[in-house]
Amino acid sequence: QVQLVESGGGLVQAAGSLRLSCAHSGRTFSSTTMGWFRQAPRKEREFVAAIGWSAGSTLYGGSVKGRFTISRDNAKNTVYLQMNSLKPEDTAVYYCAGRPYPSSSTYPSSYDYWGQGTQVTVSS
C-alpha cells in the first residue's frame, strides 16, 4: 500500500493558524485524489477537505469553508491543509487520506489509503 504520513499537528490558541502536511510515499501521487478528515472524541469522522488530480478541483466541509485551504505540491508528493481562524471545536485528530480516482469525495469509505493521524488541539 501507499504510505501517508501526516505532520504539523500540535497545540495552538484560538484564532491562530496551523498548517498540516501529508507526505505520499509512492510515485503515483499526481494520480491520487487527497482528502483530510477529522475525528473528535465521541463523534463521527468528519469530512474536512479534498483536492482532486487537478488542483482546481476542491471540496470543503461546511464547518471549515472559508477558514481552511487544501493544496497540493506534486513535485514534493505532499498535500497541505492550511488552517486559519482556528476554534476550540476544531480540536480533533486529523487524518490524511487518498484515493486513486480523479474526483474528490466526502465519504471516508471511498478512500483507500490513510495516514496515522495527527492531533490538533485549539485552546481558548
For the segment 77-108, what is each residue's pLDDT rounded down to a tens digit?
A: 999 999 999 999 999 999 999 999 988 999 99
CA angle 100, 40, 116 (to 5 degrees): 45
Helix (H, G, I), strand (E, B) or coil at 94: strand
Q: Is the pLDDT assigned to residue 37 strictly greater than 80?
A: yes
pLDDT given for residue 70 in this prediction: 97
Cell of 63: 464547518
Residue type, 74: N
Q: Is the pLDDT assigned to residue 1 strictly greater than 90?
A: no
Mean of pLDDT values over 58-73: 96
Which among 43, 5, 48 has a CA at the least distance from the CA of 24? Answer: 5
Q: What percent of the chain has pLDDT over 90?
A: 90
Bigger pLDDT: 53 or 6?
A: 6
CA 115 to each of CA 15, 50, 85, 123: distance values in angstroms, whole numbers, following the listed order: 26, 15, 25, 24
Mean of pLDDT values over 58-75: 95
pLDDT given for residue 53 in this prediction: 87
Pairing of strands 113-114, 92-99: antiparallel
